[in-house]
Amino acid sequence: RLELVKDLFVFSCYTGLSYTDVMNLNEDNITFGIDGGKWIITNRQKIHNNVKIPLLPIAEELIEKYKEHINTKKTKTLFPNTSNKKLNSSLKEIAYLCKIKKNLTCHIARHTFATTINSNGI
């Protein structure tokens, strides 16, 4: 369970997508861009706008990791489904085990994307 939680958090760090948007991703959201690279194209649920995000290698590895998972095959999503409440609770457990003082939540991953990945020109 903690491995999935870690993977979902890291995926959000590399895509900037919210919990809901990650849980709704499916294979139709992955496409090749004019640059020849893979991109995530999705409609953000909360604000209903279309976003295009380059699929960075680490994020792509995480998608591949869960491709054959029984729950992703059943739901046809890229990741096994878990509730936001369980995810955030598990993130708090990880933070405690790692002695991280920050209140670790799914939303923090989006901030990480904005301050590290996105601000470095990707």
Q: Using CA atoms, how far apart are residues 74 and 61, in angstroms rounded to an integer?
A: 20
pLDDT digits (tens, 9 = 90+) for 63-109: 999 999 999 989 999 999 999 999 999 999 999 999 999 888 888 88
pTM of the complete model beyond 0.85:
yes
Rounded to an integer, the average pLDDT of 34-39 is 94
pLDDT of residue 107: 83
What is the rounded CA–CA span in Å between residue 116 and residue 87?
22
**Domains of the chain, CATH where assigned:** 1-117 (1.10.443.10)
User: 46 or 118: which carries more pLDDT confidence?
Assistant: 46
pLDDT value of residue 111: 66
Q: Strand, coil or helix: what is 18?
A: coil
What is the residue-averaged pLDDT of the chain?
89
Residue that the structure tokens 């999705």 belong to: 42
Q: CB–CB of 79/8 below 8 Å?
A: yes
Angstrom distance (rounded) from CA 63 to CA 92: 23
Helix (H/G/I), strand (E/B), else coil: 6: helix
Give me the pLDDT at residue 122, please.
54
Strands 38-43 and 30-32: antiparallel
The pLDDT of residue 46 is above 60: yes
Mean pLDDT across 13-34: 94
How does DSSP assign 24-69, residue by residue? H--GGGEEE-TTSSEEEEEE-TTT--EEEEE--HHHHHHHHHTTT-
pLDDT at position 19 is 93
